Amino acid sequence: MSRPLFYDSVTACDECDSLHRIPPLKSGERFKCARCGHVLINVHAYVKGRIFSAGCSSLFMLVFALIFPFLGFSSNGAERSITLFTVVSVLINQDYLLLSAVISLALFVFPVAYLLAVVLLVWSFRHRYIRRSIMRYLIRWVIAIQPWLMVDVFLVGILVALVKMDSLADIELGLSFWAFCAYVLLLLKTVSLVDRRWLWNQIEGQGPDYLLIERTDSDVFESAQQHGLIGCHFCGATLHHSARHCSRCGHSIHSRRPHSLTGTIAFLIASVIMFVPANVFPIMQTTFLGGSEPSTIMGGVLLLWSLESYPVALVIFMASVVIPLVKILSLSWLCWQCYYPTERKTLQKIRLYRITELVGRWSMIDIFVVAVLTGLVQMGELMSILPGPAVLSFMSVIILTMLAAMTFDPRLLWDSNRDSVSTPRQEKKE
C-alpha cells in the first residue's frame, strides 16, 4: 500500500525530474538526487561571510591585475611590455572586433558582473536595503553568467603562450600576472560557494508546501511530470503544470525545454560546418625577420611536440581537437538515444552529458593563446603575431557546442528509459 507524504519543501531534480523533499540541512551538508546523483542544494559553513570576503578579494586582485605591467617580452634587443588592456586594444587596432569583444566579455565584463552581483546579494541578505525585485534580477544574472566564466581557461592559455615563446624570446612576468593568478583562484572559490537554490531560499524562502506526493514501498521515484508538476530550472520551486511562469522567481517554466532536441541538433550541425574551416585555415600568422609563416591548430601542436613541450602539446591537442570532436559526437549520440534508446543505463548517459557540458569551455585555450601572443608580440617586421582566418571559425565551434549542451534537456533521456533507484541521500561533505 502506498503511503502519503506531505512534503514541506518539494523540488524536482534538474537532470532527471525526480521529486524530492529537501529536509533541513546543517552547515556543511548537501542533498543529492537519489536517482541520478545530481546535487540539488549545497549548504556551506559560514557561507555568507566566505562569499563576501572571497568576492571582494577577487575584485581587489583584478584592480591590481589591471594597473601594473602584465607580461614583458624581449628579443634581439627589442623589448615590449603589456597590460591586460593591451591584449584587447591590439585586437581592436587590428580590426578583430569580434575576437576583442569575446576576450573583453571573458576577462572583464562577465566576471566583474558576476562578482558584483554576488557580493551585493550577500550584503543585502544582512541589511535588506535592496528591493526584492532587484535581488531576483541579480540572481538571474548570476545563474546566466556562471557557465561563461573563463578566466581559469585564460590563465592556462597564458601559460601555453609563454611555453610557445620561451625558445624565441625572454619572457618576464609582471606584478599583474601574480595578481591575476590570485584573482582567478578567488573567483573560482566564490563560484564554488554559490548555490542557486540557496540564493533563492535567502530571499523567497523554500518552495511551495502544498504538494501531496505519494511514494510506493518499492522506492521508485516518480517524476514531476507524472504528477502534473513542473520544476523551475532557475529557483528549484515545483509548480502545477498549468503554470507558465514561476510564482517564486518569475521565470518562464516548461515541463521539458521546448524544441530541445531540434535546437541541439541545429547547433551541432552548425558546429560541424564551422569545424572544417577551423582546422583547414591558419589560426595564427607569425612574421619573423620579414618572412610570414601561417600555423594551423595541428601545426601548433606539432611545433610544440618538436620543441619537446610534450605536456603542453597534449593539452592543446586535447582541448582544440579531441574535445570539440568528442563533444559533437557525444551530444549527437545522446540525441539519438532520446529517439532510439538502447539498453545502456540512463545514469551512464547522464554522466556522459555532464562531462560533455563540463569540458566544453576548455577548448577556448587556443583562442586565448592567440589573443595573448597577438598583444605581446608586436615588433613590426622583426617579429609579430596576428590571428589567422580560422580564429573566428574555431571560436564559433566552441560557442555553438556550448549552446548545444545547454539546449539539450537531459530529462528526455529518463523519459525514454525509466530506471528505478534507491532512497534520497543526505550526506556530509568532506
Q: What is the residue extent of each domain of the chain?
A: 7-44+207-255, 48-194, 258-417
Enter the pTM of the model: 0.84
pLDDT at residue 78 in the model = 66
pLDDT at residue 206 in the model = 58
pLDDT at residue 423 in the model = 42
pLDDT at residue 214 in the model = 46
C-alpha cell at 117: 552581483
pLDDT at residue 90 in the model = 85
The list of the chain residues with pLDDT below 50 reads 1-8, 208-219, 419-426, 430
pLDDT at residue 116 in the model = 94
- State which fold the 48-194 domain adopts: Butyryl-CoA Dehydrogenase, subunit A; domain 3 (1.20.140)
pLDDT at residue 179 in the model = 93
pLDDT at residue 19 in the model = 84
In sequence order, what are the residues at sequence separation of 6 or more whose Cβ sits closer than 8 angstroms to the Cβ of residue 167?
A: 307
pLDDT at residue 5 in the model = 30
Q: Do domains 48-194 and 258-417 have the same CATH topology?
A: yes
Write down the residue that cell numbers 525530474 correspond to. Answer: 17
pLDDT at residue 51 in the model = 92
pLDDT at residue 40 in the model = 85
pLDDT at residue 162 in the model = 83
CA angle 371, 377, 379 (to 5 degrees): 140
- Sign of the Cα torsion 422, 332, 359, 112 reads negative
Q: Which long-range contacts (CB under 8 A, 24 or more apart) does 198-203 make?
A: 198/41, 198/42, 198/43, 198/47, 199/121, 199/139, 199/142, 200/139, 200/234, 200/235, 200/236, 200/237, 200/248, 200/249, 202/121, 202/125, 203/125, 203/132, 203/135, 203/136, 203/139
Assign domain 258-417 one CATH number from 1.20.140, 3.90.660, 2.10.240, 2.20.25.
1.20.140
pLDDT at residue 381 in the model = 62
